[in-house]
Structure 1
Amino acid sequence: MLVSVAVRFCTIGLLLSLTLVVTSTESEASSEVTPVSVSQKDIYRRLLKHKRQDHALAVKTISQIDDFVKQYRMIELVLDKLFQVLADARVQINVSGWQPDMPFPDNEKDREAVAQVIENTLLFGDILLRIPDMTHEIYKSQTRRRELVIWSLQLCNETDVFEHAERKLLNLMSQELGVIPMEEDYINPYRIKLKKPSAPQKTPKKKQRQPREKKPRLGGRRLEL
């Protein structure tokens, strides 16, 4: 009973956390007092660091669910929400005409859409690399997601807001998804390795004793004296 309540609480908490990641960018930005000379991109870089801490906590919570069905359902719910947010943000960005090589948008709605793409692409990468087998199965259940992820990865790679850690994450998730070729030394340690069944050991056959050949005795019967 306690486990069930805890998991339900985690589900609500994670979905709420994801919603906050998506919707709180502008409120946080507007609450900070920043010099006029600081660009919107620099402000967002600082905000992104806090978002990444939220992502790490969410992924850790998901990975610690030890019930397969509940963990699967959790990832399914998060990805459904995540890809819906990405799709909506893509529509807004296309309408605005904003391109990654342009300055960070001044328009609040456009800026929020760009932030949603960046944050949810990174969050998807976190979940994919940490819980790869289950995430691959859920991700592949809807083919339209691949095209959306390729678009979001391209936008993120062309957006100059990331530090080394985020750029490395984008590279690793691109390899994991097969968007780019895997490097020779690429290994995801969280992949479940299927052990090859060991060949049955042959029991050594017992050597059959061969009957000894009777050698002819010298002489005939013993003579009784």
Structure 2
Amino acid sequence: MAGHSKKLWLILLFSASIVRTDETVASKQSTESAPGKQDDINTNAVALFERLFQLKRNEQKDAVQRILAIKSVEKQNKLLKLVITKIMEVLVQSRINLESSGYLPGSGLPLTESLRDALSSMIENTAFMGDLVLYLPDATKAFLKDNEWNTIFKWSLSLCQETAFLSNNTKKMLHLVAQELNLIEREPGYFNPYAEANRRKPVDLPEIPQKKKVKKKISKGPSLSGTRLKSEL
């Protein structure tokens, strides 16, 4: 049991961190394969980002499900804190690298490999944090309350929303995260079933109209079939 828990923690922490070994090799290959052709380089870089981003998202979604499966609230919160701490460390470092380089939100993937890694790390970990906000809203928002984590996540969320090459599904997810955190006005149909208040709220079922019972009138006179007469004998 102890070995299983340790393995689980390592999986979750690995999912929260960003490993770029394969991406670095692929980035160099795509850049070197088309020297002088900036449009081709940008296209290859975006395609590579999308492919790796999807792989990372699959790992992150699996990690979220593992956290949700933990029955002990105390253990769940302890693990959640470790994961969020790691996410925030990556976001802080990514912010330092991007802002010091003068990168402007919405300007596409940076030309240099180091800045591409910083931007990708920021987007991936923002998406991971977004999953935690939506699937564990009460616990996660407690960690984001009145501290520097709240500030850094607002920054990364805003930058991601200005990123042009993200998929529509990712943008929709981030839009839901912004509503959950009340950073923007919630839409009329917004509803998060994972929020504690909504889990306790009874479901209002539509009333089923009851049919009125029709009393059968018993004839007082003799029956032609003799049924009433036989019953009274």
Give TM class, smaller chain: 0.7 to 0.9
Alignment correspondent of 1:152: 156
- Residues of 2 paired with 1:112 and 1:182: CA distance? 33
Alignment correspondent of 1:27: 22
The Cα of 1:195 is off from its aligned counterpart by 4.8
- Residues of 2 paired with 1:63 and 1:47: CA distance? 25
- Residues of 2 paired with 1:116 and 1:157: CA distance? 15
- Residues of 2 paired with 1:135 and 1:101: CA distance? 28
Contact kept, 8 Å, 1:29 with 1:44, in 2: the verdict is: no
Contact kept, 8 Å, 2:122 with 2:156, in 1: the verdict is: yes
Alignment correspondent of 1:111: 116
Alignment of structure 1 residues 94-105 onto 2, 5 Å: 94-105=99-110
Q: Select the residue among 14, 22, 42 that pairs with 2:12.
A: 14
The Cα of 1:16 is off from its aligned counterpart by 2.1
Count of matched residue pairs: 191
Structure 2 unaligned residues grouped into runs of 5+: 35-39, 202-233
The Cα of 1:64 is off from its aligned counterpart by 0.7
- Residues of 2 paired with 1:185 and 1:29: CA distance? 42
SS at match of 1:23: coil
Which letter maps to 1:159? Answer: T
Contact kept, 8 Å, 1:29 with 1:43, in 2: the verdict is: no
- Residues of 2 paired with 1:60 and 1:28: CA distance? 26
Q: Select the residue among 40, 44, 61 that pairs with 1:39.
A: 44
The Cα of 1:89 is off from its aligned counterpart by 0.7
Alignment of structure 1 residues 129-208 onto 2, 5 Å: 129-140=134-145, 142-193=146-197, 195=200
Structure 1 unaligned residues grouped into runs of 5+: 197-225
Contact kept, 8 Å, 1:40 with 1:106, in 2: the verdict is: no
Alignment correspondent of 1:127: 132
Contact kept, 8 Å, 2:138 with 2:196, in 1: the verdict is: yes
- Residues of 2 paired with 1:97 and 1:146: CA distance? 23
Q: Select the residue among 58, 61, 64 that pairs with 1:53.
A: 58
Q: Deviations over 1:174-216 (max 9, x none)?
A: 01111111112111001113758xxxxxxxxxxxxxxxxxxxx
When Rg is computed on C-alpha atoms for both structures, the one with the higher figure is: 1
Q: Deviations over 1:1-39 (max 9, x none)?
A: x2x4322221122112322xx132x53352376563233
- Residues of 2 paired with 1:64 and 1:103: CA distance? 37
User: What is the RMSD of the two structures over their aligned residues, measured on CA atoms?
Assistant: 2.1
Stretches (4+) displaced over 4 A: 32-35
Contact kept, 8 Å, 2:98 with 2:119, in 1: the verdict is: yes
Q: Select the residue among 70, 73, 78 that pairs with 1:68.
A: 73
TM-score, normalised to structure 2, is: 0.75
TM-score, normalised to structure 1, is: 0.78
Identity %: 31
Alignment correspondent of 2:216: none
- Residues of 2 paired with 1:166 and 1:129: CA distance? 13
- Residues of 2 paired with 1:9 and 1:53: CA distance? 18
- Residues of 1 paired with 2:183 and 2:122: CA distance? 18
C-alpha spacing 1:103/1:80, structure 2 compared with 1 (3 Å): same
The Cα of 1:156 is off from its aligned counterpart by 0.5
Which letter maps to 2:11? Answer: G
